[in-house]
Amino acid sequence: DIQMTQSPSSVSASVGDRVTITCRASQDVNTWLVWYQQKPGKAPKLLIYAASYLESGVPSRFSGSGSGTDFTLTISSLQPEDFATYHCQQANSFPLTFGGGTKVEIK
Partner 1 sequence: EVQLVQSGAEVKKPGESLKISCKASGYIFTNYWIGWVRQMPGKGLEWMGIIYPGDSETKYSPSFQGQVTISADKSTRTAYLQWSSLKASDTALYFCAKLDSLNLDYWGQGTLVTVSS
Smallest distance from the beta carbon of 20 to partner 1, in angstroms?
19
In the bound state with partner 1, the residue whose beta carbon lies nearer, of 25 and 34, is 34
Burial 39-64 (b: 16+ CB within 10 A, else e): eeeeebeebbbebbebeeebeeebbb
The residues that touch partner 1, with contacts defined as CB under 8 A, are: 1, 32, 34, 36, 38, 42-46, 49, 55, 87, 89, 91-92, 94-101
In the bound state with partner 1, the residue whose beta carbon lies nearer, of 60 and 94, is 94
In the bound state with partner 1, the residue whose beta carbon lies nearer, of 12 and 93, is 93
Show Cβ contacts of residue 10 under 8 Å, excluding neighbours closer than 6 positions: 102, 103, 104, 105
| Contact present, 23 and 33 (Cβ < 8 Å) | yes
Smallest distance from the beta carbon of 6 to partner 1, in angstroms?
9
